[in-house]
Amino acid sequence: MRAAKAILEALKREGVDTIFGFPGGSVIPLYDALYDSEIRHILVRHEQGAGHAADGYARASGKVGVCLATSGPGATNLVTPIANAYMDSVPMVALTGQVSRHLIGLDSFQEADITGITLPIVKHSYLVKDSADLQRIIREAFHIARSGRPGPVLIDIPVDVTKEDVDFDPTLLPAMHLPGYRPNLKGHPKQIKEAARIIATAQRPVIYAGGGVIIAEASPELQQLALYGHIPVTTTLTGKGCFPEDHELSMGMLGMHGTQYANYAISRSDLIVAVGVRFDDRVTGNLAAFAPEARFVHIDLDPAEISKNVAVDVPIVGDAKRVLAALSEELAKLELSPDRHLPWMNQVEAWKRDHPLVIRESPDGQIMPEFAVNKIWEVSRGEAIICTEVGQHQMWAAQHYLSHYPRRFITSAGLGTMGFGFPAAIGAQAACPDAQVIDIAGDGSFQMTLQELATAVQHHLPVKVCIINNQYLGMVRQWQELFWNCRYSCTCMECQPDFVKLAEAYGAEGYRATQEDDLEEVLRVALATDQPAVIDIHVAREANVYPMIPAGGTIHDMMEGDR
């Protein structure tokens, strides 16, 4: 069998049903094999779109996302998506073509050392020198990408390798050889007991949960822990949805643009149970002043995250699902009374009551951005898979599009990649054909990858793009306003396309709303169509995201904004 075909067979064995890619010289044999393969190929318009779509596919489905690009510029265009997947621990396999083996190292046409370029941003990578290794490498790559702390794995395949004849037996599973790779899944029982003990005696406990809970499929166990321990829960941006945000124990998101009550609770807590989080600077602000009164239990699969930023009192290395289940069991044995920290629960309730997230009223019928997000939530009944770009709209979406289930809020958190949301939404829609998928976008971000409208139309992926359009690079403008004397250097998008006509030019549907009163009707029509659609929502131009704790700040620096 030709190696190119054997590669696709190996992908199928790993459960791959969809590949996002873009052809080129070094992958012609692979594309030739795809021509009559059962694997669906989604043709993007830029390789960056392929990478982010694979990312969105993976986050929405929990499966490994696969993208494919040619050598040289095709491969380098995958660098941003690979870095993005690495930062947010997304399981992804990136296949790149490479020039023929005898041309490697000679500065050949469309040659780039993509394994070298991506070294710091992959979980692992392979350059295939021998077609006999292909089956083993593909199996290892998928195993590494999806197990332990997931991440992107790159397989760089010289074109001549894909043209060779190889033995392929679909019934024969190739042996893996990974002597140095043994993720530790089971938490230490003694540590789990110790954690239960200090939870039982804590007076002001908080659970701080993140993306790791979603990756581990540990939402039910997290809820169990919160209920048994009567502990309020705050989540990170990537953790959104791991705990239902309408639950009475939910405090929403914490950090720079988190809710005031979550941040107050963290600042006064005496015990933080951190699960699947990495104490990112956007969460902690000034590390020295982060949760100054708290002890820490930290549950994470990656030992390198333990005590990286914050010294931890009870580290538990293990899979969140198993550890949380064991911890809940321990807590259940203790039969804790819900009243044991009643003053704390009352305090949290009071903070929630006194400092809620607000949807500001429009002074003149203009659409306020939070109002827009809230309307999207209402019209989609809170059931949509939300993808976002990066900036103000992302934070408004995180604050006001309440998520009740995991894998429904897909956002570029760690790398903060503008242009991520739309291709990610395409990937999510490919993974979940029956779901309503909405990209809550900014006008700046959307323009970075909007050519993927053609992809959505061609492949009948009815993604809805809601542009929160303020004609600014709004988040940078907000910082310029607050910290740089309103000097709006290069953040005003003076020239913009007509997004409605643009959508129509691609064969998608275009809608626009400029007044508060019109928005609901526009959304009802636009979200109901079975076509891809762009909804251009003109919002109050200089609205800011509040609350805000400035970078490196503390709870005392929190800006509440105007009501």
Partner 1 sequence: MKHTLSVLVENKPGVLTRVAGLFARRGFNIDSLVVAETENEAVSRMTITVNEQDQPLEQVTKQLHKLINVLKITDLDPSGSVERELLLIKVRSDAQSRSEIMQVVEIFRAKIIDVSREVLLMEMTGTREKVTAFLELLKPFGVVELMRTGRIAMSRGKRPT
Interface ranges with partner 1 (CB under 8 A): 115-116, 119-120, 123-124, 127, 144, 178-181, 302-304, 306-308
CB of 77 to partner 1, least distance (A): 22
CB of 501 to partner 1, least distance (A): 46
Report the 3 state secondary structure along 415-457. CCCCCCHHHHHHHHHHHCCCCCEEEEEEHHHHHHHHHHHHHHH
CB of 151 to partner 1, least distance (A): 9
Measured from the CB atom, is 320 or 326 closer to partner 1?
320
Measured from the CB atom, is 87 or 357 closer to partner 1?
87
Q: What angle do CA 55, 16, 133 make, to 5 degrees?
A: 105
In the numeric block, which tokens belong to residue 95? Answer: 């296949």
CB of 402 to partner 1, least distance (A): 35
CB of 188 to partner 1, least distance (A): 16
CB of 232 to partner 1, least distance (A): 31
What is the three-class DSSP state of 472? strand
Measured from the CB atom, is 178 or 492 closer to partner 1?
178
CB of 69 to partner 1, least distance (A): 20
What is the three-class DSSP state of 476? helix
Of the candidates 346, 351, 328, the one whose C-alpha atom is nearest the C-alpha of residue 200 is: 328
- Give every CB contact of residue 394 below 8 A, 6+ residues apart in sequence: 388, 411, 440, 442
DSSP labels for 330-399?
A: HHHHHT--GGGGHHHHHHHHHHHHHS----PPPSSSPBPHHHHHHHHHHHTTT-SEEEE-SSHHHHHHHH
CB of 124 to partner 1, least distance (A): 4
Measured from the CB atom, is 140 or 443 closer to partner 1?
140
- Give every CB contact of residue 57 below 8 A, 6+ residues apart in sequence: 18, 20, 63, 65, 427, 428, 430, 431
Say if CB 129 and CB 189 are below 8 A apart: no
Measured from the CB atom, is 76 or 531 closer to partner 1?
76
What is the three-class DSSP state of 33? helix
d(CA 159, CA 355): 60
Measured from the CB atom, is 307 or 471 closer to partner 1?
307
CB of 147 to partner 1, least distance (A): 11
Measured from the CB atom, is 144 or 233 closer to partner 1?
144
Q: Which amino acid is at 101?
A: R
What is the three-class DSSP state of 212? helix
Measured from the CB atom, is 128 or 519 closer to partner 1?
128
Q: Which helix (H) or strand (E) holds 512?
A: strand 509-513
CB of 303 to partner 1, least distance (A): 5
d(CA 276, CA 450): 33
d(CA 241, CA 371): 21
Measured from the CB atom, is 80 or 394 closer to partner 1?
80
What is the three-class DSSP state of 324? helix
- Give every CB contact of residue 184 below 8 A, 6+ residues apart in sequence: 301, 303, 317, 318
Say if CB 526 and CB 509 are below 8 A apart: yes
Measured from the CB atom, is 120 or 363 closer to partner 1?
120
CB of 535 to partner 1, least distance (A): 42
Measured from the CB atom, is 47 or 305 closer to partner 1?
305
Measured from the CB atom, is 303 or 416 closer to partner 1?
303
CB of 179 to partner 1, least distance (A): 6
Say if CB 510 and CB 529 are below 8 A apart: no
Measured from the CB atom, is 154 or 314 closer to partner 1?
154
CB of 181 to partner 1, least distance (A): 5
In the numeric block, which tokens belong to residue 188? Answer: 């230490």
HSE-up of 287 (CA within 13 Å, CB side)?
9
Sheet containing 385-388: give its strands across.
409-410, 385-388, 437-442, 464-469, 533-538, 509-513
Report the 3 state secondary structure along 100-116. CHHHCCCCCCCCCCHHH
